Amino acid sequence: MENKQFCQSCSMPIDHAELAGTEKDGTKSSEYCVYCYQKGAFLNPDMTLDGMKKLVREQMEIRKMDEAIINMAVGSLPMLKRWRKPVTI
């Protein structure tokens, strides 16, 4: 199985260079897609995890994706870098 890169904000596969977001210096982001991250910043910095869940579901439903795949993508969001809670001891 090939090692795919997924956006650490929305879980979208980043399988083409044009789908990668950009850093402040214009280089391609290794973690975020163009729809979430440009010029070193999130396009919607006030987005909440619940808001992202709703957006991902809506976009996948528009594309008529299978419900099981939608549920898997939405369910994976809390584990992504943008949404993970720091571990406290």
- Per-chain mean pLDDT for the chain: 94
List C-alpha distances in Å: 3 to 6, 14, 15, 44, 68: 10, 11, 10, 28, 21
φ, ψ (nearest 5 deg) of residue 22: -125, 150
Whole-prediction pTM value? 0.87
Closest CA to 76 of 16, 19, 6: 6
pLDDT at site 1: 38
Residue 2: the pLDDT is 53
> Please, which pLDDT band fits residue 78 given cuts at 50, 70 and 90?
very high
Give the number of C-alpha atoms closer than 13 A to the C-alpha of residue 81, restricted to the C-beta side: 11
Farthest-apart Cα atoms in the chain, separation: 43
Closest CA to 39 of 14, 22, 60: 22
